[in-house]
Amino acid sequence: MERKPIKLLIMDIDGTLVTNKKEISPATCKALIDLQNNGVRLALASGRPAKGMLRFARQLEMDKHHGLLISSNGAKAAMSFS
């Protein structure tokens, strides 16, 4: 069976990406930036409003890699990080 490359990784923030201190661990941050540098697009999905996701998107350098934010329980999707 041929393995196809991963093109998109979508993950939740709370309870998945961040620690119980609401931080992305350095190892996770590095791994996700490395994935993006190797052509994998990253999307964060959350019940949070987009404004509450920006800190993590910036930390992961998603603005440099055309990352996506899926916010407000899926009601909004955006590539803008301003």
- Give the CA count within 13 Å in the CB-facing half-sphere of 49: 1
Active site residue 12: yes
Beta bridge partners, 77, equal 70
The rounded distance, in Å, linking the Cα atoms of 57 and 24 is 11
> Which is catalytic among the residues 12, 14, 34, 63?
12
Catalytic sites, residue numbers: 12
